Amino acid sequence: MLQIPIAVLNSIESMQLQARPQILLRFLHLAEQERTTMNELAALVSQDPALSARILTVANSPALLRGASTKNLTHCLVNIGTRLVRTLASCLIVQAVFSPAVNKRKYDLSGFWSHSLLVAEVAREISTAVDYPDSEEAYLSGLLHDVGQLLLLGGMEECYGRVLESSIDETDLLHAEEILLGTNHSAVGAWLIDQWKLSSFMADAILFHHKTAEEISSADRLSQIIWSSHILCDQIKFQDLAQEAATSDLHAISLMLGIDAHSTAVIYRDCAERVAVLEEALDIGKASTTKTFPQTTVQSHAHHHAKTAESDPVDSCLNDAVRDMALLQPLQHGLTSLSSETEILLGIRESAILLFGPGQIAFLLAHPDTAIMSGAGISAQPEILQRIEIPLIATQSLAADAALRDLLRSTFETESASIPLIDTQVTRALGSEGVVYLPLTGRTTSIGVIAFGISAANHLRLRHQQSLMMSFSQVAANSIEMWRDMQEREHSAEVVLTRHFEQQTRKVIHEAGNPLGIINNYLSIIRTKLPDANNLHQELDILREEIDRVTKILRQMNHLPERPATAAILDINALIESMLVLYGTSLFSSRGITVTKSLDPLLMPVACNRDSLKQVLVNLWNNASDAMSTGGRFTVSTQGNVNQGGRSYIEIRLDDTGPGLPDDVMQRLFQPLEPGRRPGHSGIGLSIVASLLQQLEGLITCRSKSGHGTSFSILLPHSAVTEQ
């Protein structure tokens, strides 16, 4: 457990680290470009400690995490998604303008940025040289190794500013921190990594980077890499590397990592050249001193006033960016472009944390049919909030008062004895010292509230941002309402389209039934004209039976949903024999396909709907015939008493010697293919097969390999299907 004095913790807990303005502007520009790749965004993010940490935190949050946590920035950005990345970019720009963490006019951060970039680059090179398995982790650890300095400066500027001003180098700075603060920037940086729930190895590497060579020799590999990178970049000048090969620190690096002085010189030189290019590209500027931590800007009184009057170009760009965004308009655009209400709520949650600092976010949404708010059905919320129901009566809770009167309400601004118990319960559920309710008010009705659980220290800071918080909640409410309106319009359009489709379907069914009836009657007339002993009688009966089956299929389309088929006792072998009489020539013989039968003579009859099973077999036989257009072998076999999952089935097996099914088709075998995926093949046949077998309580499996044919196995239960 890191021992950080309470006074220091209170000062830094509500601090929000900010990315460099140059990086933020570039990030926003790239995020808005349709052709920007995640690799390009990750390369930019990796150049800034604060932005890297933000992306890592959001991507590894419970609501977004898919599988194991990741420190790869590209993977993180992919997890977040393009739309949410644009939302985050907008939020970070707004935050940088409305709540700057460090007074940029008073402090020069160029030495800090250059040093952080250089340590990160060297750490990545060393990790590669020593075969460390995660060079991305090493880079990020190097980038964040001095992040505690920014946290301390932003949280306790007056006190820490004096510490920085009086320090000559980082060793001197560390000593002064311990005396005046009772802690140091290494411990504060490690604390921040723990708060972000990143790798404990990263936290240790940051905590240990000022240890002695003797102490670090027993640490883990990542800590040794960051320590060595810091030594190379901070304590050893590049031009003296070749001559300083005998120094104790370089000797320790060589012993720990197995890298000689010449190799370290090459690594440092290459990294320093890359960082110089980055500094120029990002307009970081050269540091006024060789110090690697924030420095007080030295300027005459007259120059100070001139500088104040003259706006900083980068700050001006940031303000212009906010003005061009009309404050939070792109946030609303980004939220409404998301694909579900769940994603919108996730975007609101992550945006609120980025804009207003650490805290737990929950939603209490109004039910349209009842006068209550609840958090039921909303993901990534404490379980108790899934069950809480708050009446929409202003006098009974601060939450309801905020929702009904469209006001920001807070437990911090209410006498403890006057806080309703339900609001105390929400506060406890969020694990916070208090809760701020932001109303979600749409154009015509209240949608609910955002419950923001925060500390007392963060609330004091946010008191100056209430206007921005209300603007944010309005954007959030508009986004939810617009998405709901769009869903309602789409549903209405779908109902109209479905009704039109049903009417057209009934017309088609009616019109198709007439010629089918005429054909059936004509076949009856032909049968009466043939001699009784003629062999064509059986084939005509099969044709009439097939026409009757098609007629029944068409009639079933009038029933929505389809009624379950009626089961009858069926001889499977006899059905297959009769179907081969009808389809054997047209599907197989005419195409040079040899049909082989292997029907189990002891196969028992089963209770099964005849027409449904025929439809299943016809679809599968058609597919096999199409696959073997140049000839082949088709085998139909049956087998009784097949045990599957403790239940007895009979098996119908269909094997062909066709080309096999492609991998992408196998992955979606019983689902319709996308339009245009395979011309002439919608894939609807197999989806019908699966649906029919589900009604028959049967099972179907498929084995197929490209170039080695396809095999379908159909299992039908011995027990009767329930008659409807």
pLDDT for position 509? 65
Domain assignment present for residue 343? The answer is no
pTM of model > 0.75: no
Nearest to 116 by CA among 257, 204, 19: 19
Using the structure block, give the residue that is written with the tokens 């068409």: 554
Residues 240 and 111 in one domain: yes
pLDDT for position 300? 36
For residue 312, the 8-state DSSP code is -
Domain assignment present for residue 172? The answer is yes
Answer yes or no: is pLDDT of 565 > 50: yes
Domain assignment present for residue 328? The answer is no
Residues 108 and 238 in one domain: yes
302 or 144, greater pLDDT: 144
Answer yes or no: is pLDDT of 648 > 80: yes
The model's confidence at residue 721, banded by pLDDT at 50, 70 and 90, is very low
* % of the chain beyond a pLDDT of 70: 76
Question: Given 487, 510, 537, which residue is the final one in a domain?
Answer: 487
Residues 545 and 606 in one domain: no
Residue 195 structural domain: 17-296
The model's confidence at residue 228, banded by pLDDT at 50, 70 and 90, is very high
Task: Specify the number of domains making up the chain.
Answer: 4
Residues 151 and 263 in one domain: yes
Residue range 161-176, pLDDT digits in tens? 888 888 888 888 999 9
Question: Given 266, 296, 326, which residue is the final one in a domain?
Answer: 296
Domain assignment present for residue 326? The answer is no
Residues 655 and 537 in one domain: no
From CA 503, how far away is CA 499, in angstroms rounded? 6
pLDDT for position 473? 87
Domain assignment present for residue 350? The answer is no
Answer yes or no: is pLDDT of 675 > 90: no
Phi and psi based region of residue 377 (left: phi greater than 0; alpha: psi -120 to 50; beta: remaining): left
pLDDT for position 332? 59
From CA 490, how far away is CA 477, in angstroms rounded? 20
Residues 598 and 533 in one domain: no
Q: State the DSSP string of 18-52.
A: ---HHHHHHHHHHHT-TT--HHHHHHHHTT-HHHH
pLDDT for position 95? 55
Query: How high is the mean pLDDT of the chain?
Result: 78
Nearest to 154 by CA among 357, 1, 300, 304: 357
- Across the beta sheet with 409-410, the strand order is 389-391, 372-374, 360-366, 446-454, 434-441, 409-410
Residues in the chain: 724
Question: Given 296, 326, 346, which residue is the final one in a domain?
Answer: 296
* % of the chain beyond a pLDDT of 90: 20
Q: What angle do CA 60, 91, 353 make, to 5 degrees?
A: 50
Domain assignment present for residue 392? The answer is yes
Residues 368 and 470 in one domain: yes
pLDDT-wise least confident of 362-366, 408-412, 529-533, 653-657? 529-533
Judge whether 542 and 581 are in contact, CB under 8 Å.
yes
Residue range 332-370, pLDDT digits in tens? 556 766 778 888 888 888 888 877 877 889 999 998 778
Residues 473 and 522 in one domain: no
Domain assignment present for residue 695? The answer is yes
Residues 530 and 649 in one domain: no
Answer yes or no: is pLDDT of 622 > 70: yes
